[in-house]
Structure 1
């Protein structure tokens, strides 16, 4: 790694000289940690050097540190944090003469918007990077990034033209890894343009990557081939999907290995193998999420602590000045004391009237909430129970006396709770055996078209959990399954439970059509789930994208 020391300027004082030397040493330590892939430590030292830099006097060191901090945040997929860090340098970019520094910032901003699917903004930053007078390799990389944006926007002809021009560059041809990537992109463009030329480029890319033992690159090419053969040869497509998963796993690329595993699950005719792969998918997905969330929190804490330390120093200085002023104004304290008494008296009178008015307002709000609660229970609980009964009638043989009796019992229960809704009854079931009641509810959604997996339910000691929390869990999962059956067209649903650090974590995932997370608005069922979870001091996170299924994680204290 190239080490960028703080730029030497006119040394006005010995203090400035000493500070610059300290900053250089800190940056050098950060570079060593970054080179050895100890990103947490590298981030800590880059941040420490950044806080000591004055961007108006030492802009190179400041931008250098901020760029690598943004890179590390991006590596942990904290794209919002990375974007914020990089954007803080924009006001100082016009003060630096080296265009490569500016290119670095524009590139990291472009990648952040690319990874968050904001392709127009990503194209804007990549284009700005391309127009800079930088090294040839930076020019080519910016050009490649622009072509990838065209690829994502399905403008395959434009992308193909750029990738062909890149493949003719000597700098690209001299680097087997980069050259094979370009060949892969060209093959993918031809594939999307329905051209038979695609296969030859994929095969040439595989040959180069195999010689270089590029397992991650092979995973990408094999995945392109499984898509290529998906509608032509199902067996061959599955073969390449498994090869893609194997190579991505060997390279440690867990995100793309999950993509290949998802293809295997969705296209595998073996019911047993699909279940096994689905559990693997869930476990890997959960571990990735927890690891990255932990890393994001750690980086955010480092930035916060440095800011807090600076503010604490300012606070201590302010307190010292305040103490000196208090000593100088000793004689005026008696007057201040009387003023405080008068103000306090006025405040007491004000609080009395304020609390009286608020109490009256709360009575009105309580009446409104009571009416809203009754209306909500009619919509949420009874509506879902009716849909549950309809699902039971749809999926069971009603000629069976046992099924008929069960149906009648459920209808009588709904009728009973309707007449007693004002008494705020709980679920019909007493939850003496929560696991059995829960499984029974879920099994009613299990049809020949929908395969339901439950894992970890019996590992939770439900008898020790508050009845209200069990009600929330029951209703939330019921709401998710109702929404799944109504909207998602899912064929596979997995629900897992686990207890960690006095919290119960519930993961719901299906392979339905999903929804655009940028346009998703919580309303109706999902909004009700969110309110329920918040009522037991829990949290909920929803992940979805078009064509990539629907995932919900619910976490609440035991």
Structure 2
């Protein structure tokens, strides 16, 4: 930027600072509320149609407009429907935390709505979000809330099926089998099937439940899985259920993998063929995995390359869609702010004119001298800032390059050596090869996350929670307490970034050096300080305490820059504990 561009700005700023202004009262903007019911109804029809056609970007924009135009009391049903639809779209796109936040906005409205479908949809969304983030205890709570509602028999049955699905995720397959069997033999779906009164969409629900019984038996190594798989496939073929056909064939491929490899390969190829027609992420990923498991020789390398390319493409698509949704929300908010700004522009203009009349000749002399000083400072600081920025970029690139070399070179070498020196036709070798590929992918994702931009606005706590939840797995449960018990908006931006990076480094150290299965993170405000306490139940940390101390030295240095303190105890018999605090 040229130095001359700063002069008009500095003149205006100094006019305001050097000479006292008169005390005028601002003219408040009066906003008249209008009846938007007709427009809300029109937009609801359009948005619902786009939603049904999977045009989620268009639907998302219209639902946001509906929420903006709605009076939560007068247009409550349309308002709640729009919130539920947005929560579903966010869930489909994998934004589970945003979906949960949107669905939570519906909860205060439920007491005013007589129909239970609103509560049923809301609890179902929240339950599925918890399942997606591996928080199965909370997922089960909300699935049971949906079941306990006085809803229609079909919704009641589907709520019970959702409970069974959570049990499947938890690995409690016997409970899941019991519920699904009751639903499809003596319950809602079973009774309607006996009287041939199931509608087509109910038959498809029935097929999903029967197939889930098969999956549960398969996970128990029980041969009774096969007839359930075959029954579900027969129904889906008859009704041309393209969405679920790939899963049926993939299930059968896994079933025959050890007993009949040729048949398993045939089913896997059929599953992949159908998944390419539907082109949905979950089905295509499962089909490719079964193809790799059931293939031999060059086919394994062929399908492994397709699998890696597919995962990379999906990640790029998801990032693009997430940015598009974020841009829609940002532009929508920006339009609202600009409209409010225009309403008070006239009053601000009058105030500015009055300020200019109060300036004197002496102020112009002071301004001229100050401008010369500012021009020199701006010129000097601009050059200095460019040099520091270039140095920082260069150092960051070197650091990322070193991390890629140190973290990935060995893994890539081991993967290539394994593929070259081992027979990939062997099932265990195939599984090991997939594990190598998955480990490389996860490390690349971790490096990308470590160097990503940190949001420090009102979404900071959600971003922090999302980062922490990414460390959760089937073997590790992370409990977060007190994250939102105080306002993060009152905390300095630099401090929020340091807290984010410190927690990230502690979790990285725990993941690589500890065998913990449970981690607790507690956030607490004590007078004018923020206290953050970390604890886990790991048992291997004392063996590597010297290395850990070196890693935590970087953490301590970060905390010292914000006048904070850090304490840790790697020798505790109850696991590793570390806590730090800093002034607000």
**Alpha-carbon offset, residue 102 of structure 1:** 2.0
CA 1:161–1:513 in structure 2 vs 1: closer, same or farther (change >3 Å)?
A: farther
CA 1:187–1:165 in structure 2 vs 1: closer, same or farther (change >3 Å)?
A: same
| Structure-2 separation of matches of 1:285 and 1:275 | 15
Find out whether 1:512 has 2:448 as its counterpart: no
Post-superposition Cα deviations, 1:63-107, rounded to whole Å, max 9, x if no partner, equal 111111222232333333333332333333333333211221222
| Structure-1 separation of matches of 2:420 and 2:86 | 40
Tell whether the 8 Å contact from 1:184 to 1:202 is kept in structure 2 after alignment: yes
Tell whether the 8 Å contact from 1:107 to 1:126 is kept in structure 2 after alignment: yes
**Alpha-carbon offset, residue 295 of structure 1:** 1.9
**Alpha-carbon offset, residue 211 of structure 1:** 1.6
Post-superposition Cα deviations, 1:416-442, rounded to whole Å, max 9, x if no partner, equal xxxxxxxxxxxxxxxxxxxxxxxxxxx
Tell whether the 8 Å contact from 1:183 to 1:204 is kept in structure 2 after alignment: yes
Q: Secondary structure at the match of 1:77?
A: coil
1:134 match: 151
Root-mean-square deviation (CA, aligned residues, Å) is: 4.5
**Alpha-carbon offset, residue 224 of structure 1:** 2.0
Tell whether the 8 Å contact from 2:214 to 2:228 is kept in structure 1 after alignment: yes
CA 1:25–1:59 in structure 2 vs 1: closer, same or farther (change >3 Å)?
A: same
Question: Among 69, 89, 92, which residue is 1:52 paired with?
Answer: 69
Find out whether 1:155 has 2:172 as its counterpart: yes
Question: Among 271, 275, 293, which residue is 1:248 paired with?
Answer: 275
CA 1:333–1:96 in structure 2 vs 1: closer, same or farther (change >3 Å)?
A: farther
Tell whether the 8 Å contact from 2:216 to 2:225 is kept in structure 1 after alignment: yes
2:161 match: 144
Post-superposition Cα deviations, 1:271-292, rounded to whole Å, max 9, x if no partner, equal x222222232233333323223
Q: Secondary structure at the match of 2:436?
A: coil
In the TM superposition, 1:13-32 aligns within 5 A as: 18-32=35-49
CA 1:154–1:117 in structure 2 vs 1: closer, same or farther (change >3 Å)?
A: same
In the TM superposition, 1:295-374 aligns within 5 A as: 295-328=321-354, 331-334=357-360
2:242 match: 215
TM-score by length of 1: 0.60
2:106 match: 89
| Structure-1 separation of matches of 2:440 and 2:112 | 40
| Structure-2 separation of matches of 1:490 and 1:119 | 36
Post-superposition Cα deviations, 1:240-260, rounded to whole Å, max 9, x if no partner, equal 322322232233334322222
| Structure-2 separation of matches of 1:328 and 1:79 | 51
Find out whether 1:230 has 2:257 as its counterpart: yes
1:292 match: 318
Post-superposition Cα deviations, 1:333-390, rounded to whole Å, max 9, x if no partner, equal 4499599969979x98xx99xx9xx99xx9xxx9xx9xxx9xx9xxxxxxxxxxxxxx
1:275 match: 301
Find out whether 1:482 has 2:410 as its counterpart: yes
| Structure-2 separation of matches of 1:161 and 1:209 | 23
| Structure-2 separation of matches of 1:492 and 1:324 | 78
TM-score by length of 2: 0.58
Post-superposition Cα deviations, 1:212-244, rounded to whole Å, max 9, x if no partner, equal 222332322222222223343333333332232
**Alpha-carbon offset, residue 138 of structure 1:** 1.6
**Alpha-carbon offset, residue 30 of structure 1:** 1.4
| Structure-2 separation of matches of 1:201 and 1:285 | 31
| Structure-2 separation of matches of 1:490 and 1:142 | 46
**Alpha-carbon offset, residue 23 of structure 1:** 1.4
2:528 match: none
**Alpha-carbon offset, residue 167 of structure 1:** 0.6
Worse overlay, 315-324 or 18-27 = 315-324
CA 1:24–1:16 in structure 2 vs 1: closer, same or farther (change >3 Å)?
A: farther
Tell whether the 8 Å contact from 1:513 to 1:546 is kept in structure 2 after alignment: no
Number of aligned residues = 399
| Structure-2 separation of matches of 1:187 and 1:74 | 27
CA 1:236–1:311 in structure 2 vs 1: closer, same or farther (change >3 Å)?
A: same
Find out whether 1:117 has 2:134 as its counterpart: yes
| Structure-2 separation of matches of 1:52 and 1:189 | 47
**Alpha-carbon offset, residue 521 of structure 1:** 9.5
Q: Secondary structure at the match of 1:215?
A: coil
Tell whether the 8 Å contact from 2:154 to 2:188 is kept in structure 1 after alignment: no
5+ unaligned residues in a row in structure 1: which ranges? 1-14, 377-467, 494-508, 535-540, 548-558
2:229 match: 202
Tell whether the 8 Å contact from 2:412 to 2:440 is kept in structure 1 after alignment: no
Worse overlay, 75-84 or 197-206 = 75-84
CA 1:190–1:527 in structure 2 vs 1: closer, same or farther (change >3 Å)?
A: closer
CA 1:324–1:289 in structure 2 vs 1: closer, same or farther (change >3 Å)?
A: same
**Alpha-carbon offset, residue 489 of structure 1:** 10
CA 1:487–1:89 in structure 2 vs 1: closer, same or farther (change >3 Å)?
A: farther
CA 1:527–1:108 in structure 2 vs 1: closer, same or farther (change >3 Å)?
A: closer
| Structure-2 separation of matches of 1:490 and 1:319 | 69
